[in-house]
Structure 1
Amino acid sequence: MTHREIKRQAKARLRQTGMYRGLILANLLPWVITVTFMAWAVLTVVQIAQSYGLANIIANPDNFSDYLAGTNNISNQTVLRSIILLWFSQGITFTALDVMRGKVSRVHPGAALLRTFNGQYFFGVLSLFCLIWVARSIGLFLLVVPAIIVSYGLSMSYYRYYDGKAEQQEGQLPYTSTRAVLDSWRVMRGRKFNYFGLQLSLLGWQLLKLASLHLLDPLINPYLQLVDAGYYANARLAYEAAQQLQQ
């Protein structure tokens, strides 16, 4: 499927009875958490600026930037926010994939949010978060470009983990987060630039989120989540078809 076809399919899914409303409601809690952390970050900067002194900031703005970065308060808040959002956001991600595959005709917000709070996904999702964070940090340490390549290569890890767990048969070894990371890298081989193109085509929506100070996120995110899930579903099918041809 082309990018346009994936987007068209996502819009068609949203037009199903109650689908858009269910996804909006599911996105409300992550949105509230995000806005809360944004407000906390702003207050933190204001407090640091007051303690540093307005006159010093005006006289030495570069020094203040270094001082602000050295406090680590903002970065710590960002990590904490990511961890708190992790299970809720991935629950919505897994639900979006089921929606794009036509497996569900109605989204129950509470069930979507709590979908990963069980023995099957909870610790695996956390393990994935840690693995991806380490891989991206190593890529960033090397240079910016390797970090971007790593990020795109591992971008389908959560989807692969969800599929791997769902398809795991009795008697097989457990599908691990490490395997999900490796499978994501295989699926995205030769598709990273194509995925970048998809993200670039959605830049307008991201700018709208920024311009609205993220107030419109619950309305915009359902569409973006379905498009991303649709890309993975299509990429996996293409990858498996290519593997069969090689056999």
Structure 2
Amino acid sequence: MSVDVPEQAGVAPRQYSRAAVLAVWAAAAVPMGLLAWVVAPALAGSGSGDRHTIPALVAALTAGLVWQCVLVVVLVAVEQRSLRWRVVREALWLRAPTDTAGRRGGRMWWWVPVFVAGYAVLQLLPLGFPAPAGHDLNALLTSPGGREVLSGNWGLFALVVVMLLFTTVLGEELLFRGLLLPRMRGAFGRADWIVNGILTGLYHLHQPWSIPRSLLAHTLLFAYPTRRFRSAWLGIAVHSASSVVIAALFLTLVLR
């Protein structure tokens, strides 16, 4: 009989009710929507152009992602009554991938490039719909105005890197794959990873045009490997691959 030893390092993650899952989802999604559609335009001012719009949007979204990290820390501290790394690691599945026989790490890490390749293919599919002008951050940063704003702007580049870090390691992935997914089996059974991916896709109220693509990516390429190998590092690693590419692209624009 196999024993799940890691979860004995602290209090075993409690299972959330459906209402609790939706509450955590709303605590992440609603602030991001408000920050993108209300706060960022207010910070930028009307008719301010890319020079003000881009920093305002990056700062607003970064604040929302940092809030998600704070939310994870608070919920884990209340549940586990400890923030020691040994406890946090198991509570958030920040451990090496584990197969059904209890073996950890090793060849299972080779699944990461497989899912990364799948994510790359997904980016080529014609999914989603056009974004409203002035709200698609990727389009803004790569536009002529965005390239001008980024040129030599190391402060903005540093903020973009922080935003990407909290998207894939400390915020979005940590909340949805590290906190929520291990606590959804009681409410959703074996469909927990499917519901998790759907909720993460629908969380993108700050960029709703990306929801169709996000639904597929977060369900099949982030949530599934995380549940299959009981390791949030799988989702984090696959999602981080795109962040590395984006950061490299922005770095070339800063250096111009």
TM-score class normalised by the smaller sequence: 0.3 to 0.5
Structure with higher RCO (Cα < 8 A, 6+ apart): 2
Q: Which has the higher helix share?
A: 1
Q: What is the TM-score normalised by the length of structure 1?
A: 0.35
